[in-house]
A = this chain, B = another copy of it.
Amino acid sequence: MAFFPDIEKIPYVGTASANPLSFHYYDAEKKVLGKSMAEHLRFAVCYWHSFAAPGDDVFGDGTWDRPWGNDVAGAQKKLAAAFEFFEKLGVAYFCFHDRDIAPEGATVRETEKNLRLIADEMATAMARSGVALLWGTANLFGHPRYAAGAATNPNPDVFAFAADQVKTALELTHELEGQNYVLWGGREGYDTLLNTDLRRESDQLGRFMEMVAEHKQKIGFEGTLLIEPKPCEPTKHQYDFDAASCFAFLQKYDLEKEFKLNIECNHATLAGHSFHHEVAYAIAHDLFGSIDANRGDPQNGWDTDQFPTNAEEFALVLYEILLAGGFSNGGLNFDAKLRRQSVAREDLFHAHIGGMDTVARAFDHAIALYETQVLANARAERYAGWQSPIGQSIQQRKATLETLSAHVHAGDLAMEPVSGRQEELENLVARAAR
C-alpha cells in the first residue's frame, strides 16, 4: 500500500507549468557538458530527516505523519515508504545511518540481526528501483552511551563499541555498493574544557580514523571515506570545526590522502564561513569529496537544516566544483528537513522539488560561468604579473628576502593601484544567470 497514494512520479514540466508537484528547472535527462543533469548533480535523499525523525524540536513533540513504530516491522514500512519516495521523486541516490534503517536491539547480535534483515530488503529494493547508495554512516551520537563522545570517549569500551558499529556500517555500505562512507563526529568534541584532555582525545580520534582507513583497505571498499566538519551542536565545540581544522587533523595523523570532506552548507555558516569558502578551501587543498545540500537561517544560531532556496549562493559553489572537474564519488545529499509545521505528506515532495530546482537553476548559472570563463579570465588577468621574472623567482623558490630586498632597492617597482573589480565581477556573475 502506497504511503503517498495521491502522488505520481514527479515530472519535468518546464517553467511554464503551474503544477506545483513538478520540476520547473531540473530536467534529469538534459545533457550538458557531455553528461545528463542527473549524472552531474547526483542528488541523494537522506533517510534521517525525511523518514526517521518525528518532527519534534527542543520545545515540542513531533508533528509529522510518520506512522511506523521503532521496531523491525516499522523499519520495513519505513523502507517501503522511503523507496516509494525516492522513485516518485526520481533521485538516483539515498543516504542513511545504521540506526535510521533498523532499530538497535537489546544486544549487539540482535542489532546486527535487525540490520541484516533490513539490509536484505534494501538490497532488493535498490536492485528493483535502480536507486543507489551515495553513502552510509553510523550514528555515534544519539545513544546515551555516546554522551561523552565515541572515539574521543573517556571510556575505551565506548571507543570499542563505536569501532564495532563503524565496522558493521562500513561493511554494509560496501555490500550495498555505497559510493562513499561518511564519519560525522557529532559527539567528538567537548562540552567543557574543564574535564577534557585535548591532546589525548585528538590522538584517540586520529587512531580511530587510521583504523577505519585500514579496514577499508582490508575489505576492498573502493568508495571514498569522508569526514564532515561542523563547529558545534550538539557539543559546545566539535573537533572537526571546519574544513581547515579537519585538514590540520588529517595532516597530523598522515591521513590527508585517506579522507576527503563532506561539506555542509549550514555547518559552514555556523563556523563563520560562507559555504562557498568551505568548498573552495576543500578544493584548493585537494580535500573535496561531497556536499550536504541545505541552508541555515542567517538569523538563527543553530543547524536549521532547511532546503536550499538561494540559487545565487549555490551557483558559485557549483562553479567551483565544475572547475575542479565535477563530482567523482560525491554528490548532493539533501541533509535538510521539513519545518515542523509542514505536516502534509506532500510537503516532503515540495521540499525536495524546491531543493532540486534551486540546485538546477544554480547549475545552469554555474555552467554559464564555466562556459563564458568570465571569472576564470578575470582571475588569470589579475595574477598575470606572476609571469614576470621576479614573480617566477618567487614561485620557483629561488628568491630570498635578500634578493627581493635588492629588487626593491633597485627601484623600478610596478605598484600602481589596480582595481579589485569586486562590484564589476558581481555584476558579471549576476548577468551570467539565464
Contacts and interface: CB of A to CB of B under 8 A. Distances in A.
Interface stretch (A37-45, A76-84, A423-431): A423-431
B312 A299 contact: no
A207 B163 CA distance: 40
Contacts of A191: 339-341, 420, 422
A109 B200 contact: no
B420 A192 contact: yes
A354 to B, nearest CB: 4
A343 B284 contact: no
A237 B277 contact: yes
A422 B194 contact: yes
A307 interface: yes
A269 to B, nearest CB: 7
Interface in A188-207: 191-200, 202-204, 207
A413 B160 CA distance: 9
A351 interface: yes
Given A274-B299, A379-B195, A426 B147 contact: no
Q: How many subunits of this chain does the assembly comprise?
A: 4
A338 interface: yes
A229 to B, nearest CB: 10
Contact of A20 (B299, B307, B427): B427
A204 B404 CA distance: 14
Interface in A289-318: 297-302, 307, 309-312, 316
A9 interface: no
B401 A164 contact: yes
Q: Is the interface of A mostly helix, strand, loop or mixed?
A: helix
Interface residues of A, number: 151
Contact of A408 (B164, B197, B236, B284): B164
A160 B386 CA distance: 12
A234 B60 contact: yes
A30 interface: no
Interface string A260-299: 0000000001111110110011011100000000000111
A406 B245 CA distance: 33
A163 B407 CA distance: 10
Contacts of A248: 244-245, 247-248, 251, 285
18 contacts: A60-B187, A147-B340, A148-B418, A155-B415, A163-B408, A194-B378, A202-B285, A203-B395, A211-B401, A215-B400, A247-B252, A248-B251, A298-B298, A339-B423, A342-B422, A344-B419, A347-B421, A350-B423
A211 B402 CA distance: 9
B430 A309 contact: yes
Contact of A269 (B148, B187, B298, B402): B298
